Chain A
Amino acid sequence: MSFIETEERRALRAAVAELGAKYGSSYYVEKARSGQKTDELWAEAGRLGYLGVNVPEEYGGGGGGIGDLAAVCEELAAAGCPLLLMVVSPAICATIIARSGTEGQREHWLPRFADGSVKMAFAITEPDAGSNAHRITTTARRDGDGWVLSGQKTFISGVDEADAVLFVARTEDQKGNLRPSLFIVPTGAEGFTHTPIDMEIVSPEKQFICHLDDVRLPYDALVGDEDGGLLQLFAGLNPERIMASAMGAGIGRLALGKAVDYAKDRQVFKAPIGAHQGVAHPLAAAKIELELARLMGQKAAWLYDGGDDMGAGEAANMAKYATAEAAIHCVDQAIQTHGGNGLTTEYGVGMLAGVVRLMRIAPVSREMILNFVAQHSLGLPKSY
């Protein structure tokens, strides 16, 4: 057993960190503030195979695991470029298609996930079905050889830059608990519209409400079985949590790094402020929280890549919880260390507050993780 990543994983981190440094915070923030996308970085990372590290080799991917993809996501975030769609497109969608898709779907999509030339968004949340996925009402009905989809989704990331969206729906004869069916819907499909939601978050990736108004799809828009159920869905949700954890870890590192640089340099009384324990100790505590959270994220990835979906589920939830909390503390303490500068645009610290705060809510809320741990890890009665 080893807590040290492999030589290849470390080399991957170093290479991605170098690419991230070429772009950096200023690139990311400029794109976000001017309403543009991080297309250049996405394309270059894709060409280098970094966005497809987890896609099977026979489809042109790197043949690695979610642990490799998480390393890519973390390093880019730590360099100031958290790519939200990495959590969605290669982690959720490519994983689900690789594990549950038909051979035709794999051949069509996976090579393009491998080089990042395609982006697929993922739509599960509905206005009345957020944490309670069993209340999903987006419905698919058979129509001749194909399907007709109707419904509404909200808080869907990156629809404007995606080629297609993977929708979680239920077939019309299904009642009660969700046996989800997954459908790939091209963003240009007739009857499919999306509307941006204004958010208080500095990010090039936008959030959308999606409307499906009798969208006609061919039969092979369905991924896996009609009611292939929760397993094929959860195949994609563990990677989502692992990736969210990695992105949080990267942002935490970014904030902590800025705080440490500032604390070494900034002098108010006789010594740099980092010499004062009132400044140093909270940063040290944040560092400890962050490293513990990263370790749980790596464990979750390791379990998942080893095929232990159940074990990975618990670890991925814990990692997602812990990393969100650690990232919030890192950013909060970084702001405090910077004083007034912490909330200036120039120092680039305050603008991280929104995104790490979001991580306590999405992709799964702190409270739902505590419910999961209380019920499944501790064996307490279900509370809801």
Chain B
Amino acid sequence: MNIVVLVKQVPDTESPRKLKSDDSTLDRAAADGVINELDEYAIEEALKIKEAHGGEVTVLTMGPAKATDSIRKALAMGADKAVHLVDDGLAGSDALQTSYAIQQALGRTGFDIVILGSESTDARTGVLAAMLSERLGVPQITLANKVEIDGSAIKAQRVTDYGYDRVEATLPAVVSVVEKINEPRYPSFKGIMAAKKKPVETLGLGDAGIDAAQVGLANAATEVVDFADAPARAQGQIVTDEGDGGAKIAEFLASKKFV
């Protein structure tokens, strides 16, 4: 089984995140880079599939040179090798362009299954899985909280507002996962020591067969027109219990879809 897991490096969610004033793109230098949290679940699921069915897990990352740290962590968790798509021409690419660039890179790695987190904590578009499956012409299973592989069939539970759907597709396929699917492992000491020896292939635009005119900020289909700092957190709502406190809590939780 050729399993490719897409890993994005994002600014640490614990540090303040900023857009740059000159081109409205994310200031990646301003904060420490970490693996996008949902991608850690994707890595874990990829490793579990490999452990159950054999094969090889390849990490595919598109991002600047400093994304190497995140690639090493994914390898330390147990992935076998990595492909790092890195080129200044990719900077500022939007979701549509990113899906194109990743499609091209997947042309080099091949795949039976592509796994990714259902969204990133920085851009939060949550559309990459859909765009990618459209470009690749393979089925998409999004928001999966359970995945089973049975021969060439993939069965999954897909989270919905009302519970979950059971869906099934034929491999190859693209699968995006949510945090309920598993508990990502920590890299073991041996994993950390082994990670440095694992192959990381670095691809530029030309290596991956990416047309420079279709990627990058200048060619993006979307544009950030304006942005502002997030408003300071407002004072919480105080509910006085007049015998209906429980009902009010339940009402609040239901309005936020927690229950």
A and B assemble together: yes
Chain A residues within CB distance 8 Å of chain B: 7-8, 11-12, 14-15, 18-19, 47-50, 52-53, 62-64, 68
Contact present for B72 and A11 (CB under 8 Å): yes
Contact residues of B between 182 and 203, Cβ < 8 Å to A: 186-190, 192-193, 195-196
**Nearest Cβ on chain A to B183's Cβ, whole angstroms:** 10
**Nearest Cβ on chain A to B253's Cβ, whole angstroms:** 24
Query: What number of B residues sit within 8 Å (CB to CB) of A?
Result: 12
Q: Does B73 sit within 8 A of A, measured CB to CB?
A: yes
Contacts of A53 on B, CB cut-off 8 Å?
189
Contact present for B189 and A12 (CB under 8 Å): yes
Q: Does B76 sit within 8 A of A, measured CB to CB?
A: yes
Distance of A8 Cα from B195 Cα, bound (Å)? 9
Contact of A64 among B187, B188, B193, B196 (CB under 8 A): B193
Main secondary structure of the interface of B (DSSP, over half): helix
Count, A-B residue pairs, CB within 8 A: 41
Contacts of A15 on B, CB cut-off 8 Å?
73, 76, 186-187, 192
Contact present for B186 and A12 (CB under 8 Å): no
Chain B residues within CB distance 8 Å of chain A: 72-73, 76, 186-190, 192-193, 195-196
Contact present for B188 and A8 (CB under 8 Å): no
**Nearest Cβ on chain A to B215's Cβ, whole angstroms:** 30
Contact present for B76 and A62 (CB under 8 Å): no
Tell me which of B73, B186, B187, B192 has the highest count of chain A C-beta atoms within 10 A of its own C-beta. Answer: B192
Contact present for B193 and A62 (CB under 8 Å): yes
Contact present for B186 and A8 (CB under 8 Å): no
A sample of 20 inter-chain contacts (CB < 8 A) reads A7-B72, A8-B192, A8-B193, A8-B195, A11-B72, A11-B192, A12-B189, A12-B192, A14-B73, A15-B192, A47-B188, A48-B188, A48-B189, A49-B189, A50-B188, A50-B189, A62-B189, A63-B193, A64-B189, A68-B189
Question: Which residue of chain A has its CB nearest to the CB of B195?
Answer: A11
Tell me which of A11, A15, A64 has the highest count of chain B C-beta atoms within 10 A of its own C-beta. Answer: A11
Distance of A7 Cα from B187 Cα, bound (Å)? 14
Distance of A316 Cα from B20 Cα, bound (Å)? 46
Contacts of A12 on B, CB cut-off 8 Å?
189, 192
Contacts of B73 on A, CB cut-off 8 Å?
11, 14-15
Contacts of B190 on A, CB cut-off 8 Å?
49, 62
Distance of A62 Cα from B192 Cα, bound (Å)? 10
Distance of A11 Cα from B189 Cα, bound (Å)? 9
In the A-B complex, the 4 residue pairs with the closest CB atoms: A49-B189, A62-B189, A48-B188, A15-B187
Distance of A68 Cα from B189 Cα, bound (Å)? 10
Distance of A118 Cα from B247 Cα, bound (Å)? 51
